[in-house]
A and B are shown apart, each in its own frame.
Chain A
Amino acid sequence: MKGVKLHVRVLALALLVIGAGSTAWQIFVLNIPVSSDTTEPVWVIDTKLNFNARDNSPVKVQMYVPPVWSKFITLNESFISKNYGVNTDVVGDNRQATWSARRADGNQQLFYRLMLTKRSNSRFSESEPGPLFQESPELIGVEKVAVEALLKPIREHSADIETFIREAIKLINEPSNDNARLLLGNNYTQDNKSRVLELLLSSAHIPVERVHTLRLVSSVAQVSELWMRSYNGKRWLYFNPETGTQGLPNDRVVWWTGDEPMASVEGGRNLKIEVTANQKTMNSIMLAQSIAERKENKFWALSLYDLPLQSQQTFEIILMIPIGVMLILLLRNVIGLETLGTFTPVLIGLAFRETQVFWGVILFTTITALGLSLRSYLEHLHLQLLSRLSVVLTFVVIVMALISVLGHRLGLDRGLSIALFPMVILTMSIERMSIVWEERGGVHAGKVGIGTLVAASLSHLMMTYEPWSYFVFTFPGMLLVFMSLMLMLGHYRGYRLTELFRFKAMIKGK
């Protein structure tokens, strides 16, 4: 006996550990959200390319698209165009999409839609590629003097690459600095400033690169924002060429690097690019799924979300049954509630899904009451068990049909949902109830009937509680946790709550 107890405990513990472990693994490692309500922001960026094609000539449009190494995960990417072939290639650090067509006429429109979400977790991020070697340019004359004059104070004021670049940006943006003015040549555009900065830094043998980013704000017309980045030997450092601030803000997505424009067209002119960004929210679980799909995660393939939608809905119900069963176990063995049959309340509770609790209780009571009166009449006829049950079952079906028809006539569509009441369960409930009635009296039968309805309603409420059904469906490891609890309850030897009242007289007597 001791051995068995230990056995059960070890088994229960093992199930608990496996169940809870797998759930924890899903939550913390696979980042599966614990609630179906959590949503995460998703960015939808639409890029529209508009140009006029030259008549009867091949057209080739190239556009940079965000690289795979960015801080964001690409959920979905689509290229929409008419009569164009589309390819994406990796060019250096960048990704480039190429649309091509043998022949195009007039105004052409190409669309590129991108759905992005933030990497919720550093483990997802892939390392950014390192820098390419850049040769320092040959400088002559005044420019050479100006550059050297600028570099001197920068060197003095800086300690490392990071501070050097910041100092350089500061100087270039200083309007009073003559050397900087000379280099800029009165052209104070962002583009020119970046060019000068590149010049300056490459003379100091610090490789620097332009980064074109997009700011993620919901707006119609977006323009790419220029940033500079430099490799310090370990990672890329991003700088705002205007303010010198370091570090790319979280709402910037890197689109491409280098000096080239975002898009170029061959065999066409008047290329216009329009970028719009929109924020949407997406259900976390769907998000996690689509990320997993893109990453071809094998573990997801084993989850219930892999089933066809129809089966998913079925299993969402089926997986909740253990919760109802556990409730019955608690109600019966710990509380001491008496019910008809063992799992009858769970099945009735399932039927309540369609009828809702209120109507379910009313319909159940009505049918059982009618069935009981028929049963007591049949009692006089001394029928054999099987034929008696068959008669009661047929009667139950007739009553259900009548209720449906009446309900429909009266405009109560709830009446129709009765069709889903399990007839066999109802019949057996009537049979058991009448046996209880005979053996233990009407009061007791009423008590058992009410107990059954209470248990059925409670189990229905628990089984349809949305967060739980999501949780169990998403983390099937919970079933093992339930199993371990059930095992433990199998060795519960304490009093039932009702027994405390039943035996109360024995204490008061003292």
Chain B
Amino acid sequence: MNSSNPSFTPTSLMNPKLVNLPPSGIRKLFDIAATMEDVISLGIGEPDFVTPWHIRNSGIHALEKGRTQYTSNAGLAQLRCEIAKYMKRRFNLTYHEANGVLVTVGGSEAIDLCMRAFICPGDEVIVPLPSFVCYGPLAELCGAKPVYIEMKAEDHFKLTPEALRQAITPKTKLLVLPFPNNPTGSVMTREELMEIAKVLEGTNVMVISDEIYAELNYGPERHVSIAEIPGMFERTIIVSGFSKAYAMTGWRLGYACASPEIIGYLTKLHQYAIMCAPTMSQFAAVEAMANGDDDIAMMRKEYNYRRRFIVDGLNRIGLTCFEPLGAFYCFPSIQKTGMTSDEFCSKLLLEQKVAVVPGTAFGACGEGFIRISYAYSIDHIKQALSAMEKFVKEHAQ
């Protein structure tokens, strides 16, 4: 049935906030790369490992047993219990095993839920940049004003208490803490988080701590969550997931941990929007949490070898890079080539067939930097480094 109104254009009815969101900055580059053959990519932000077999097998077992129904809205009780045990075991955090955990469709859903659960139109959400691309757009869709803090290379891309203090206003509702950080690989230490906690003391700001890369930490200290800092537990929601720690990206499974009151509201929203996370993924995740600590250790060790290898290589060819202590990214400076990030990445792709992501995809302050993923084999990284070395030499000023 056609509308009787000839000027009816569905897209004109779209939410202007959505229409006006900037498109992803790297789509163009990826599209070009997709048409080329033998591209050496260092662009992908997901593990190159396949989910460990015992975890996959648990997913298969769930299917064989016919576990094809919904779970409860908050997720399998057994899984929530395992997550609570895991948080205690790995990060010394105590969450209520029945009511302090919500199982979500990836960490991404948990981030979206937090935004929608807290934001009223006109609120401000503080987002440190460079960081993963979703926080600002999701906040904007809820009617919030994202307030961006530009983290600096000289601070190793950490959030400083001064910068945070300046960004907080009476309208600030949420602070996103994206550490270990995608795209820079920077981490925040316990001491640095204590400084951040001091600034938040006495404010009405909630913290969304995106700790999806918590297990990929290569420093002398284990990962510390801001929720562990005295006074911060009640005002922190930890968002994490199975994707990066267990190489389970495609299972789409994450979780949020907070006080039972907050989890109650997040669950309410989750129940209307999603119902529940995929059941077989949840069964696989029970196995991951219960018996996967060794897998994490093995993958972390492997990433660490590659991390040292690529950081050494980049510094050697003149793309200077501070030592990233988290995730599986490094964020070298390309400023000495005189090119912009976009220019560097498209030329590198066209001339040497190496695909990396411009730093600007993660915020304007990423200009002059590129994101390199080392979720690749050493041989692959070697090949990419020698192509990049050639490129840098040819464009030496």
Pair from one complex: no
B→A interface (CB under 8 Å): none
A→B interface (CB under 8 Å): none
